[in-house]
Amino acid sequence: MTRPTKYRDADSIFANCTIKDDCILWPQSNNRVPLFTVSSPIAKQFATTSVARIVFTICRFVPASQRLTRWCTSDFCINPYHHAESRPYQEKRKKLFNIHDELPEQTSHRHLIAPPDEELERMKPTDPVICNVLMRSAATAGHDARGLPNRRFLGFPVKGSNLPLLPETEGTAKEGVPVLVIKKKPTPEPLVQAPKDEYEDMSTDDFFNALEAKVSTMVEKSKEKEVIDYTKHLAQNSYR
């Protein structure tokens, strides 16, 4: 006798969760994010062990982005409206008639990562409490999850987002006020030219001749000083 499948649709997945401030929290474990085991039938059915991705696929649409970003601050939250595709795929979906439609690059492998639409429809949640949370989350968070009051990524909204402007605080950039001002460098003072060396333009022979003449002059002055000093010495001793 085989054991019945525990997780087979959205209701059975959400039944394992708790709800806090519209965050649907999967029981925490040693894993960094909510995960099914590799052998889980529903993981094989969706070709992923990510609980958040499976719930996102059932409740919203088949994501084209390889990774979904959780925008709320609650760890282990699997609320599909608290997750969003990466920005490039969101921009592509804006060009579709229906943002939930498949992107052209999904056509070739859509059947490998999710059941047919008819089966996904049967797997959607029916629990009134969960449906109420999802409807409220969809209205608050918006398609890109940037309307969450407890969002992880703070800052000004990108163009086209439904995120309200944050209150202006000290240090916030203001329109018309430059964020960065680069001061001009002070004008450098003109360099003082060193006095020209008297030997600079001399040839080697002229240099040594001038040097020899200078040494001779110093020697002569030294001799004259010695004669003067000796004469003074004789003059002082002659009166004793």
pLDDT tens digits for 9-67?
A: 999 999 999 999 999 999 998 999 999 999 999 999 999 999 999 999 999 999 998 89
- The DSSP-derived string for 28-68 is P-SSSS-B--TT-HHHHHHT--BHHHHHHHHHT----SSSP
* 88 has a pLDDT exceeding 80: yes
Averaged pLDDT for residues 121-140: 95
**Which tens digit of pLDDT belongs to each residue from 184-210?**
778 877 777 666 666 666 677 777 777
Q: Regarding predicted confidence, which is higher, 148 or 206?
A: 148
Please tell me the predicted confidence (pLDDT) of residue 221.
Answer: 74
Please tell me the predicted confidence (pLDDT) of residue 166.
Answer: 47
Question: Model's pTM, two decimal places?
Answer: 0.64
Across all residues in the chain, what is the average pLDDT? 83
Question: In whole angstroms, what is the distance from residue 72 CA to residue 149 CA?
Answer: 8
Quick one: which H or E segment has residue 24?
strand 23-25
Gap between the terminal Cα atoms of the chain: 144
Quick one: CA dihedral 51, 131, 150, 103, positive or negative?
Answer: positive
Question: In whole angstroms, what is the distance from residue 195 CA to residue 114 CA?
Answer: 87
* 162 has a pLDDT exceeding 60: no
